[in-house]
Structure formats: structure tokens, C-alpha cells
Amino acid sequence: MAAAQPIKVVALCGSLRKASYNRGLIRAATEICKESIKDVQIEYVDISPLPLLNTDLEVEGTYPPVVEAFRQKILRADSVLFASPEYNYSVSAPLKNAVDWASRPPNVWADKAAAIVNAGGGGARAQYHLRQIGVFLDLHFINKPEFFLNAFQPPQKFDSDGDLIDADNRERLKQLLLSLRAFTLRLKREG
């Protein structure tokens, strides 16, 4: 019997800051999968090179090369991990821009499992707004566990490089990844 293919997860961070705590969550998720959820492979996809969505950049059904490369990574993935900071009660502009580019015809988000993490002082409104956006895109978010981390409340959860050092939150993140893994497998079986 052939070994099962690994579950491919693309991870997007809505913050462009290098030491972003949200990006730190993606690094921690990648480490957790390498250590203990070996059939899940996370690929961080940098959204900073994407131009602002402008349909004038679409020429005869094609997209700029950087946009098409991004869309192909989403298309080839089994599921998505969003690290979404909250800006003005919503998702960040860079993340919304990335979501919109990948939704252009044909929508490459459709029928993928997804999860959202957040590190900051809030995040619930951004997560729920992203879930609303996902309804139109046919993204299927896990319901539980939800992951909100107040990075600014003691004790210290991240080091000076933005890496998650808090063991309890690493375990919570692992539980979210296991839920994403199970939901992804369920969707693949049903598909």
C-alpha cells in the first residue's frame, strides 16, 4: 500500500512586519508539524509582493506572474492557515488583497479547509470577518478550537524575534493544527 500524500497547508500572514507575532505563529505551526504532525506540511507564502488588486493587470484571462505564482500555490494546497491581525475591526489590507487576487476567476479558494490564528490584543472581529468573506469563497473554516492570543498580556509569549516561546499556547496551536488536519482529511474523503 502506498503511503498517503502529506497534507499541504499554505500559511498566509496578514502582517508584513518581519517580527510580527502573527508570523511567529506561522513559524511555530511549521515547527510543531515538523516535530509531531509529520503528515502536515506548511508552506509560508509571502503576500507582500502582490500588487494591489487592479483588473487592468489582467490581460486576456492571465494574471501578472507574481499573482499567478501565488494563485498556483493556493490551488495546489489542501488547506489554508491564516494568521490574521485585526486592523480597524477587520482583516488587514494586505491579507484582503491576497484573498481577492486568489478569488478572481477561477476562484482557487473553493472547497479548501481553513483555520485562523491571531496574536495581538484582540482579533475576534478580524477572524469573524474573515469567516464571512470565506462564505462567498467556499472556504470551509474549522469551528473549534478558536485561537486568539493576547501577546501583550503577561507572561511574555514571544521573544524579541517574534517567535512563540509560551508552551501552553504552542499546545493550543497544536490542537488547532490537529483539527485542521482532521477536517482537511474529511473534506478530501467527501470530495
1 occurs within a structural domain: no
Q: Tell whether pTM > 0.85.
A: yes
55 occurs within a structural domain: yes
16 occurs within a structural domain: yes
CATH number at residue 69: 3.40.50.360
DSSP 111: T
68 occurs within a structural domain: yes
2 occurs within a structural domain: no
Mean pLDDT by 10 residues, the chain (191 residues): 80 93 97 97 98 96 96 98 94 98 97 96 90 97 96 91 95 98 94 69
Q: How many domains in the chain? A: 1
Contact 109, 134 (CB under 8 A): yes
CB contact set of 106 (below 8 Å; sequence gap of 6+)? none
CA distances 52 to 41, 46, 88, 107, Å, are: 29, 14, 19, 17
The pLDDT of residue 1 is 46
93 occurs within a structural domain: yes
The pLDDT of residue 3 is 55
The range of the structural domain enclosing residue 42 comes to 7-190
132 occurs within a structural domain: yes
Backbone torsions φ then ψ of 121, nearest 5 degrees? -90, -10
Cell of 24: 511567529
Distance CA 71, CA 66 (A): 9
